[in-house]
Amino acid sequence: MNIFTKLYYQYRRFAKSIRLFLLTAGPGIIVMVADNDAGGITTYTATGAKYGMHLLWFLVLLGPVAYYVQEMTVRLGAVTKRGHAEAIFSAFGRTWGWFSLLDLVLTDWLTMITEFIGMTAALSIFHIPAVLTVLICWIIMGAMIFTGRYWTWEKIALLFCGLNLIYIPAAFMVHPSVNDIVYNSLVPHFPPGGFTNELFFLLMANIGTTIAPWMLFFQQSSVVDKGLREKDIRNGKIDTAIGALLTVVVATVLIVVCGKLLNGVPVDDAAVAASTIMPTSRTIGTLIAIGLFDAGLLGAICISLASSWAFGEVFGWAHSLNNKVREAPWFYAYYFFDLLLAGTVVLIPGAPLVLITLFVQVIATTLLPAALVFLILLLNDKKTMGDYVNTRWQNIVNIGIVVVIIALSTMYGVSTLFPDIFK
Amino acid sequence: MIKSLFQNSYAKIREINKKYETPTIEMSRWVKLSLLLLRLYLFTLIGLSLYKFITLLK
């Protein structure tokens, strides 16, 4: 009898912790899956097509890196109850605050344009005109926030995250060698041809798509809007870890699919990859196109919210998804302004979309090191973080990651501006 | 209406600037050094971007 009582108690305890986790989970999974946005999907297809499965180990390595960086925003949000923009203004003063806010707004807006480019390209495969795609996106994104409840918004966003896993069946359909996947995932090596300028660009593009400034702002604001507290930090970390795992799984699967079907074919666009695969396998091509649309949509939802939250925090507007439109008019107005502006740019005939994509890379490179430095400094401020300040081990890992990212992203930024400099 | 919107925005920005005039983070040597290096990094990158922009225009 005693053993059954103990087992029942353990079961109840476990069930309760799962229920608690499900209540607090969301921001980490959403931000990490949204990280595989239209740009991300394009990067993975290009990586798979160019180098097959040879760079899988690099993506496996990026999972923990993304986790360690994003985990800091969970602690910062739960302890300070402030979004990232407000935390920077408060800690570093107005000059750094304005710099971060304006840089974020510009980067987010440009990235939003790339999301719309991805979505229109994805649906053009099904002969849906760009105008209709943009309209569909505006309606979905508007409907999601008009519910006036963070909970509803989050559950719909999680549904879109689930749709992001659409690539997994595609991987089974190409029948990859399990031994090849395991070897390429666990043994770091350069592809045949060694370390070249092109390889460096692709590696950096993979880093850039895994850790982006908007993610820091989004997850911290999301943690605050959800109302997570210090006691929820553990669940927030698990949520982020699951999200990081999903990001790596989606990236790996896509590289495997493109590595099998497009190896050696020059592909610089996920929509092109989908239409190239279509004649060979209509199902896989369709799955890639649907996944690309979903990735762009999820990215656009999160990025526009990151900017709206940041503005709301700094300007003191009501800025919660729990507010109705009439309660937080400026917050929602900014959200829609961002959406309308980005969607409209894509519809302008002859808009310099390639130049915009290039600009995104350079400006995101400028903000990323700044955002990471602010994050590390904030997490080491005892006055701000109290008992949740970075431990020595967390500092070793996080400062190591930040130093490497700053060095690489500087090289990337410089080589984007001056393509011949490292040749 | 537009004039009033600009006046309100200007007043709000002044209010924000006043509210966040003094940084609250403890300005240790480590923090000062990090911010100095960040400034140098940003000036270098912005300088390079401007140089690229000017040479493109030429």
Q: Which chain A residues are within 8 Å of B38, Cβ to Cβ?
A: 369-370, 373
pLDDT higher than threshold 70 for residue A423? no
Q: What's the pLDDT at A376?
A: 92
Q: Where residue A24 falls among pLDDT bands split at 50, 70, 90?
A: confident
Judge contact between A36 and A250, C-beta under 8 A.
Answer: yes
pLDDT classification of A421: cutoffs 50, 70, 90: low
Tell me if chain A has a CB within 8 Å of the CB of B31.
yes
Alpha helix segments (H runs only) across A262-352: 270-277, 282-315, 329-347
* Residues A316-330 pLDDT 10s: 888 888 888 888 888
pLDDT score for A75: 93
What is the model's pLDDT at position A67?
A: 92
What average pLDDT score do residues A277-293 get? Answer: 88
Q: Chain A residue with minimal CA distance to B40?
A: A370
* Cβ–Cβ gap A417/B48 under 8 Å: yes
Q: A130-145 and A150-163 are packed helices; what angle lies between their axes, rounded to 10 degrees?
A: 140
A207: exposed, middle or buried (Cβ count in 10 Å: 0-12, 13-18, 19+)? buried
Q: What is the pLDDT of residue A263?
A: 79
pTM, two decimal places? 0.88
What pLDDT sits at residue B44?
A: 83
Does residue A243 register a pLDDT over 90?
A: yes
Interface check A315 vs B, CB under 8 A: yes
B chain contacts of residue A373, beta-carbon cutoff 8 Å: 34-35, 38
Report the alpha-carbon distance of residue A181 to residue A271 in Å, rounded.
25
Task: For residue A94, give the chain B residue with the closest CA.
Answer: B20
Q: Which pLDDT band, with edges at 50, 70 and 90, does B33 fall under?
A: very high
Taking an 8 Å cut-off on Cβ atoms, the answer to whether A92 and B48 are in contact is no
Using CA coordinates, name the residue in chain A closest to B29. Answer: A377
Task: Sort out which chain B residues have CB atoms less than 8 A from A94's CB and list them.
Answer: 16-17, 20-21
DSSP state of A187: S
Residue-by-residue DSSP string for A135-174: HHHHHHHHHHHTT--HHHHHHHHHHHHHHGGGHHHHHHHT
Q: Are residues A418 and B52, on separate chains, in Cβ contact within 8 Å?
A: yes
Using CB atoms, which residue from A91, A370, A406 is nearest to B23?
Answer: A91
- Inter-chain CB proximity B38 and A373 less than 8 Å: yes
In DSSP notation, A212-263 reads -HHHHHHHHHHHHHHT--GGGHHHHHHHHHHHHHHHHHHHHHHHHHHHHHST
The rounded mean pLDDT for chain A is 86
Q: A215-224, A267-276, A347-356 — which one is most confidently predicted on average?
A: A215-224
Which of A90, A315, A413 is closest, CB to CB, to B24? A90
Sign of CA dihedral A259, A265, A271, A277: negative
A315·B12 Cβ contact <8 A: yes
CB contacts of B12 in chain A (<8 Å) are 315-316
Q: What is the pLDDT of residue A354?
A: 64
Gap from A172 CA to chain B (nearest CA, Å): 45
Q: pLDDT by residue (tens digit) across A113-138?
A: 888 988 998 898 898 998 999 999 99
Residue A82: phi and psi, rounded to 5, are -125, 150
Question: Who has greater pLDDT, A85 or A147?
Answer: A85
Q: Does A310 touch chain B (CB under 8 A)?
A: no
pLDDT, position A225: 86
Q: Is the Cβ of B4 closer than 8 Å to some Cβ of chain A?
A: no
Residues in B closer than 8 angstroms to A370, CB to CB, are 38, 42
> How does pLDDT run across A54-68, given as a tens digit for each residue?
889 999 998 998 999
Q: Is B25 on the interface with A (CB under 8 A)?
A: yes
Q: Of chain A residues 144-173, which have a CB less than 8 A from chain B?
A: none
Residue B32 pLDDT > 70: yes
Of B20, B22, B49, the CB nearest to A362: B49
A39 has pLDDT over 80: yes
Average pLDDT (A77-95) is: 91
CB–CB contact A417 B34 (8 Å) = no
The predicted structure's pLDDT at residue A53 = 86
pLDDT confidence bin for B49, thresholds 50/70/90 = confident
Task: Please report which confidence band the pLDDT of residue A37 belongs to, taking 50, 70 and 90 as the band edges.
Answer: confident
B25 and A366 within 8 Å at the Cβ level: the answer is no
Pair A270, A118: CB distance under 8 Å: yes
Identify the pLDDT of residue B57: 65
Q: Using 50, 70 and 90 to split pLDDT, how confident is the model at A366?
A: low
pLDDT at A422: 59
The answer, for B9 touching chain A at a CB cutoff of 8 Å, is no
Tell me the pLDDT tens digit for each residue of A324-354: 888 888 888 888 888 898 888 888 887 776 6
